[in-house]
């Protein structure tokens, strides 16, 4: 059941976030994510974490709600594992973009 929920959340994320990010990018002269290329795998992982965090703040733009709910999910092992899965998906994409740093 949790996997179905995760798939639903990820699907919603994939279909809604690009539109929100592209709208934000149009408002700025320089996009916040000009390229996925990184020098090292560690920098790639840090970028994956940034992408995950950016996805959360883009999806939940109300900072009051964001901070209020943080205590709930930060103390739930299942939610933390789902967050790790999102980071892993981003890292997989970044690794591929970097030809696995060969």
3-state secondary structure 37-85: CCCCHHHHHHHHHHHHHHHHHHHCCCHHHHHHHHHHHHCCHHHHHHHHH
pLDDT digits 0-9 by tens, 41-85: 999 999 999 999 999 999 999 999 999 999 888 999 999 999 999
Higher confidence at residue 44 or residue 29?
A: 44
pLDDT of residue 29: 73
pLDDT of residue 101: 94
- The 10 Å Cβ neighbour count of residue 44 is 22
Q: Look at 17-21, 24-28, 73-77 and tell me which has the smallest mean pLDDT.
A: 17-21
pLDDT of residue 25: 47
User: What confidence category does residue 4 fall into, taking pLDDT thresholds of 50, 70 and 90?
Assistant: very low
pLDDT of residue 7: 47
Handedness of CA 1, 5, 94, 77 (dihedral sign): negative
Quote the pTM value: 0.69
- Residue 3 in 3-state DSSP? helix
CA distance to 32, 51, 55, 58, per residue, from 29 (Å) = 10, 20, 20, 19
């Amino acid at each position: 059941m949790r996997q179905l929920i995760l798939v639903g959340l990820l699907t919603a994320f994939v279909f809604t976030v690009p539109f929100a990010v592209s709208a934000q990018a149009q408002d700025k002269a320089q996009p916040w994510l000009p390229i996925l290329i990184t020098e090292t795998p560690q920098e790639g992982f840090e970028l994956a974490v940034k992408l995950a965090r950016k996805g959360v703040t883009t999806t939940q733009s109300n900072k009051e709600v964001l901070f209020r709910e943080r205590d709930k999910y930060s103390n739930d092992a299942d939610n933390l594992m789902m967050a790790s899965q999102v980071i892993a998906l981003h890292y997989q994409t970044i690794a591929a973009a970097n030809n696995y740093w060969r």
